[in-house]
């Protein structure tokens, strides 16, 4: 147990269950993805991320992620009056979960991700995770992965 872990009431003592209480919905992990691999930092960027999240849902999910200690806000380096969202260390530690979701989805569903790219990521798991973490530490907002084009025809990917 890391120092500062919250003590609280959960539906069970299982770590999987408790993790899902923090981000087990259809949107939270997409916000985490946008922060982690697309270099997004603002409400507007999340809103326009191409998945069609409603403004009130986005605001609610950001609030929950902040309450769970997964994201935080900090002053924009250029305009100090503006606040940007940023993953905490607890948040960036979700990188392996995201990577496994990406690999699973690309293998089993008809996605816009080129399979060769994804298999490459899966093969270089440790290097990929180290680079994602480096960008987070250095506040390097260069996107690690581009948004994938939609292959199914529904929705849009910007």
Residue ranges binding a second copy (CB under 8 A): 1-2, 5-22, 24-27, 29-30, 33, 50-52, 69, 90, 93-94, 96-98, 100-113, 115, 118, 147-157
Read off the tokens for 50: 């191409």
Beta carbon of residue 87, minimum distance to a second copy (angstroms, whole number): 13
Minimum separation from the CB atom of position 84 to a second copy (A): 22
Whichever of 50 and 141 has its CB closer to a second copy, that residue is 50
Nearer to a second copy, 11 or 81 (CB): 11
- The two tokens of residue 44 are 């507007």
Which residue lies nearer to a second copy by CB, 9 or 123? 9
Q: Which residues contact 47 (CB under 8 A, 6 or more apart)?
A: 53, 55, 58
Smallest gap from residue 79 Cβ to a second copy (A): 30
CA torsion angle 119 16 92 155 (round to 10): 60
Tell me the closest approach of the beta carbon of residue 155 to a second copy, in angstroms. Answer: 4
Q: Exposure string (b/e) for 37-52, b if CB count within 10 Å is 16 or more?
A: bbebbeeeebbebebe
Name which of 52 and 77 has its Cβ closer to a second copy. Answer: 52
Pick between residue 83 and residue 129 the one whose CB is nearest to a second copy: 129
Burial of 10 (0-12, 13-18, 19+ CB in 10 A): exposed
Smallest gap from residue 60 Cβ to a second copy (A): 15
Coil, strand or helix at 72: strand
């Amino acid at each position: 147990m890391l120092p500062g872990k919250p003590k609280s009431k959960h539906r069970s003592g299982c770590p999987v269950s408790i993790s899902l209480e923090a981000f087990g919905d259809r949107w939270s992990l997409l916000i985490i993805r946008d922060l982690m691999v697309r270099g997004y930092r603002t409400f507007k960027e999340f809103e326009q991320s191409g998945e069609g999240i409603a403004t009130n849902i986005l605001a609610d999910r950001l609030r929950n992620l902040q309450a769970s200690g997964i994201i935080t806000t900090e002053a924009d380096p250029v305009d100090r009056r503006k606040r940007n969202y940023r993953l905490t260390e607890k948040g960036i530690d979700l990188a392996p979960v995201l990577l496994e979701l990406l690999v699973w989805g690309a293998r089993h569903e008809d996605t816009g991700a080129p399979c060769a790219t994804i298999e490459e990521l899966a093969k270089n798991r440790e290097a990929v995770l180290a680079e994602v973490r480096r960008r987070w530490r250095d506040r390097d907002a260069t996107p690690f992965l581009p948004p994938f084009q939609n292959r199914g025809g529904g929705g849009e990917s910007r």
